[in-house]
Amino acid sequence: MKKNLFLIIFIIGQSYLAFSQRVSTDYGAIDILNYEFHIRVNDSSNVVQAEAKIDILFNNTSNSFSLDLENKDDSNKGMIIDAISENGNPVTFDHIDNKITIRTAISSSRTQKTFSIKYHGIPKDGLVISKNKYGDRTFFGDNWPNRAHQWLPTVDHPSDKAFVEWHVTAPSHYQVISNGTQIEETDLNNKNTLYIWKTNVPIPTKVMVIGIARFAVQQIGETHNIPISSWVYPQNKLDGFYDYAQAKSIINYFIDHIGPYPYTKLANVQSKTRFGGMENASNIFYFENSVSGERKVENLIAHEIAHQWFGNSATESDWTHVWLSEGFATYFTNLYVQNTKGEDAFKALVNKQREQVINFSKKQFTPVLDTNTENLMRLLNANSYQKGGWVLHMLRRKVGDIIFWKSIKDYYKTYALKNASTNDLKNIFEKASGLQLNMFFSQWLEKPGQPRLKSSWTIKNKKIEYTVEQTQKGNTIFEFPLDLKIIYTDGSSEITTIAIKDKTTQIIVTAKTDVQEIVLDPNSWLLFEHQKSN
C-alpha cells in the first residue's frame, strides 16, 4: 500500500498529516455488523448528500455510544448531521469534536440495533473531489489510515470490520467502482444513475471506498473464478489496459502461495489517490501517472495485490502492528520478483531495502512496533515497510522455506477476514517450527535499530582468527547467525556460519589455502550495517 517509492511525499506533507490523528471512539463497546451508505454527488458543488444505515451489535449495557464523523469547521468543510433515527424514531445526539454521541438505552449486552444517520457536507478529506490530469471531475475515496470518518460515520479503526453496501447516485456521464460486486445500475431520470455495490465479507473502513469518474473499462478475464478488470481514464485507455493487465499473473502467484483470494473481484483503477497505490478491498486505486504504457509499475501492482490478503483480509489489530500489512506486502512483492525475475533481482531488492532501513534508523531511531507515534501517517516509513519485510526474510532463513510457507498459509487461514497482532504471528511460527521465537521477535521488532558490525581478521599457519564486534547505537546486543564467505586466491570459496550472541565474538577457522577476502553475509540474509575496520 502507499508504495514505499512515494513515502517521502506523505511524511513531509504536513497538511495531510493533520487529518490522521487517532480518533477517540471506544472501539470495544460496539461492533459494526453492516454499513449501508447512500451517497449522492453532483457537478454543481462539492456538497455530498448522504445517509448511513448502520447495524450495530452492542457488547455492553449503556445509555449511549459513539461513532466517528468529522465536524464542519470554519473553512465550511466537514459534515453536518440532519437527523438520526432508530427504526424510524428520532433519537437525540451530540456531534462534537468529530464524534457523534447517540443516546439509546442498551439494557443487555449482545443487543443489536439499526440506526439511520442523514447528513451532508463538503468532505475535508477521505472523499477526494477534484479534477484528474485530463481536467475531468472525479470523486475518489481515500480512507487510509483513519480518514473514512472525514465523510462517513464509522468506527474508524481497523479492528472493527463490517459488511458494506454502497448506493451511489451520480450524474450519468460517470461510472462508479466500489468494493464487492455490482448488483444494480439504474438510469433514474436521464440525468442521474444509481449504482449499488455490495460486499459478501466484512472489511475494515480503511479500504472501504468508492470511485466516481469517466472510465474506460476492460474485462481481463477470470482466474480461480475471480473476474479481473482495469478501470482507467479514457484518454489513456490503451496504455492503461496494457499496464494493468499484469494483474492476472500476479494474483495467480499469490493465490498459489498464500491461499484463496478473499473477495469476489479484482479491479485495478487509475485514480486521484494521494498514495502511489491504495489497496482498497477488491478495487485497488493507483496514482494517475502509474499509467505509462511501459509497464513500469509491476512491483507496485504486486504490492497492492498482496495487501488483499495481508492488511485487507488478515488485518492488523491496531496501528502499532501495521508492519503486518506493509512489511508483508513489501516482502511478498520481493517473493513475486524472485519467482518471476530470479535470484539476482530478488537479492538486489532486499539489498536496496536494507540500505533504506539503515538510512532511516539514522534519522529516526524507533522500533517497528511503535507505540508512541500518534500521527498515523508517520507510520508510513522504512520500519513498517522495508524493515518489516526484512523481519520476514530473516524469519524465513531461521525456520527454513518449508516451515516458512506452512506458517504463512496457516497464519492467513487462521486470520482471514479477522484481525491479528504480532504475537499472533509469532505463535503461528512457533507452533509450525517448534522454536521459541521470543528473542527473535523482540530484538527485531520491539528494539530500535539493527546490528552494526565491525570485523577484522588475521591468518597464520592457515588459521583464520576472525573478530566481529557489535557497535550499534543503544544497549541492544543482537543474536543472529552470520555467514562468512571465505574467498581463496585460487578462485575457490566456501561459506561458514557463526553464531553471534555477544558484543564481541572471536572464532578460528581453518583455511584451505591462501585467503584473498572474507565477505560478510554473501547471500543477503541479515539486516546489518558493516563498519569497515581501519
Task: Please identify, among 278, 313, 348, the residue that sits at the C-terminal boundary of a domain.
Answer: 313
215 and 103 within one domain: yes
The H or E element containing residue 404 is helix 401-415
Comparing CA positions, the residue from 322, 311, 328 lying closest to residue 416 is: 311
206 and 73 within one domain: yes
The H or E element containing residue 62 is strand 62-68
Q: How far apart are CA 422 and CA 322, in angstroms?
A: 9
DSSP bridge pairs for 120: 49, 80
Task: Please identify, among 266, 290, 313, the residue that sits at the C-terminal boundary of a domain.
Answer: 313
90 and 103 within one domain: yes
Local structure of 148: helix, strand or coil: helix
DSSP-derived letter for residue 72 is P
493 and 431 within one domain: no
Comparing CA positions, the residue from 393, 399, 501, 384 lying closest to residue 445 is: 384
CB 84 within 8 A of CB 117: yes
27-31, 54-58, 277-281, 323-327 — which is least confidently predicted? 27-31
Q: What is the pLDDT of residues 322-363, one digit of tens each?
A: 999 999 999 999 999 999 999 999 999 999 999 999 999 999
190 and 78 within one domain: yes
256 and 380 within one domain: no
* CATH number for the domain that contains residue 458: 2.60.40.1840
* CATH number for the domain that contains residue 62: 2.60.40.1730
Phi first, then psi: what are they for 384, rounded to 5°?
-70, -40
Look at the block and give the residue holding cell 577476502.
Answer: 517
Q: How far apart are CA 278 and CA 380, in angstroms?
A: 13
The pLDDT score that the predictor gives to residue 251 is 98
Q: How far apart are CA 479 and CA 439, in angstroms?
A: 8
Residues whose CB falls within 8 Å of the CB of residue 342, separated by 6 or more in sequence, listed in order:
none
Q: What is the pLDDT of residues 274-297, one digit of tens each?
A: 999 999 999 999 999 999 999 999
86 and 12 within one domain: yes
327 and 293 within one domain: no
Q: How far apart are CA 438 and CA 342, in angstroms?
A: 33
pLDDT at 269 over 90: yes
Residues whose CB falls within 8 Å of the CB of residue 136, separated by 6 or more in sequence, listed in order:
213, 214, 233
376 and 303 within one domain: no
CB 66 within 8 A of CB 100: yes
* CATH number for the domain that contains residue 397: 1.10.390.10
Q: How far is CA 82 from CA 9, 35, 50, 51, in A?
A: 37, 18, 10, 10
How many domains is the chain partitioned into structurally? Answer: 3
Task: Please identify, among 421, 446, 471, the residue that sits at the C-terminal boundary of a domain.
Answer: 446
Task: Provide the domain limits for residue 525.
Answer: 452-531
291 and 163 within one domain: yes
388 and 436 within one domain: yes
pLDDT category at 107 given cuts 50, 70, 90 is: confident
Q: How far apart are CA 175 and CA 155, in angstroms?
A: 28
Q: How far apart are CA 64 and CA 300, in angstroms?
A: 44
Q: What is the pLDDT of residues 134-145, one digit of tens each?
A: 999 999 999 999
pTM, rounded to two decimals:
0.94
522 and 404 within one domain: no
pLDDT at 213 over 70: yes
